[in-house]
Amino acid sequence: METNNRTVMSDFILLGISSQQEWNILLFAIFLTMYVITVLGNLIIILAIRLDSHLHTPMYYFLSNLSLVDICFTSTTVPKMLAGEFSGKRKISYGGCLSQMYFFIAFGVTDSFLLASMALDRYVAICQPLRYATMMRKQICLSLVVTSWLASHLHSLLHTLLMSRLSFCASSHMETNNRTVMSDFILLGISSQQEWNILLFAIFLTMYVITVLGNLIIILAIRLDSHLHTPMYYFLSNLSLVDICFTSTTVPKMLAGEFSGKRKISYGGCLSQMYFFIAFGVTDSFLLASMALDRYVAICQPLRYATMMRKQICLSLVVTSWLASHLHSLLHTLLMSRLSFCASSHVPHFFCDVFPLLKISCSNTALNTLVVHSEGAFIVNGALMVIGLSYAHILMAVLRVPSAKGKKKAFSTCGSHLTVVSLFYGTVIWVYFQPSSNFSAKTDTLAAIMYTMVTPMLNPFIYTLRNDRMKEALRKLFRRKVNTQDM
């Protein structure tokens, strides 16, 4: 393993606006006044647009989002600067500095995208007035806003991860410490016995191909069959897409290692793999919760289904799932980037995951472990609670159905989803909600194989074999393919 020693900053000193102490109180008063005006002014705009139905138009929708982003953008830097001007203490931790940079870039770029959306809105209103209602309908406006937020956060993440890899020169204004930094890790893989490599490669390659093709077929079948353009299948198509991404985050790298015997991964590659693994895994969890909520509304609130599960609500649930999971993953990745690792460290897993990396770290991992068992538990258990409560209400509703046929039909719509939930959550809880000191490479590798490869591979079969509408959609898809080939 390649290593190098470097001086690492534990704190930075922000030099502020002026080095002359006598100006501090005056500057504090001026910038505090500007900050209060900024926050109150933008809050008034948001409230005015929210409370006046005449302002519920695309232009003012973008303006309210711009006002919200302006508050966040200013709050990223000004409060810290004000505290420094008032107290004279301008220290900021390394992690705090990276976090401030992340949100500064993210909100700044979001601001830019929203201004572009407002310009697009004015162009359509003035140059294409007859098409305005169609081109700037609610779904389009929501998509523009969501894309602005998501793209800006991913852009900011890239720069933050690149910055986290840099070293900084020591100065009199910085607290420093020396540590050994990994430039590469070695993934120990699934088995240390070389004779098993080709067999394992063949097995897992087959599983990976089945996973990708199976989930792609599900997406195509739902896309091409108008009868499946319903909330349940909309969530299922998103789940299939996430399963492809989730599996592709870890399996191709593992296959390359098993085939070639070269299992090296760079430090940046390791953190990136961990980031996307967590992000797609949590998105999976949120989508399963959304599907449970959909089943609850369909069975327990059938008369309100069309209203409660309309397109905007479904899109919002999916977008929230993606956005929240990426922010959750960012938190754990930034915390992991602060740790140092021993020179002889080999990752006891076939991919870069939280507990294997914590196990080999030379730093104090108490904060990382605390966040996993608090914030991480809240995120995962929150989604699991939604699933549990949804199915508790479904069970009570089904038990009140007088006919056995009605009960069977209701349970049949939920059986495949419950099977997937059990497979996914059973293995995830086994791996992540135990003390990090109890981490066992062998047992947790087997559990990881279940939720990274087996569950995504089985999902297409579970959702099609027990679902007549999916079976019919697949028949239509294959008949269309045969007819196209005959022509």
pLDDT in tens, 469-487: 676 777 776 666 555 555 5
**Which pLDDT band, with edges at 50, 70 and 90, does 172 fall under?**
very low
Give the mean pLDDT of the chain.
82
Contact 320, 286 (CB under 8 A): yes
User: What confidence score (pLDDT) does residue 435 get?
Assistant: 61
Q: What is the pTM of this model?
A: 0.70
Least confident of 209-213, 255-259, 316-320, 436-440: 436-440
The whole-angstrom separation of Cα 316 and Cα 329 is: 20
The SS3 assignment for 405 reads helix
User: What confidence score (pLDDT) does residue 198 get?
Assistant: 83
Structure tokens at 304: 């309100």
Contact 43, 209 (CB under 8 A): no
**Closest by alpha carbon to 265, among 191, 332, 320, 347?**
347
Average pLDDT over residues 238-252: 93
User: What confidence score (pLDDT) does residue 372 get?
Assistant: 83
Res 382 pLDDT > 90: no
Q: Where are the beta strands (DSSP E) in 183-330?
A: 184-186, 264-266
Res 385 pLDDT > 80: yes
Res 148 pLDDT > 50: yes
Res 177 pLDDT > 60: no
Burial of 479 (0-12, 13-18, 19+ CB in 10 A): exposed
Angular region, 9: left φ>0, alpha ψ -120 to 50, beta rest: beta
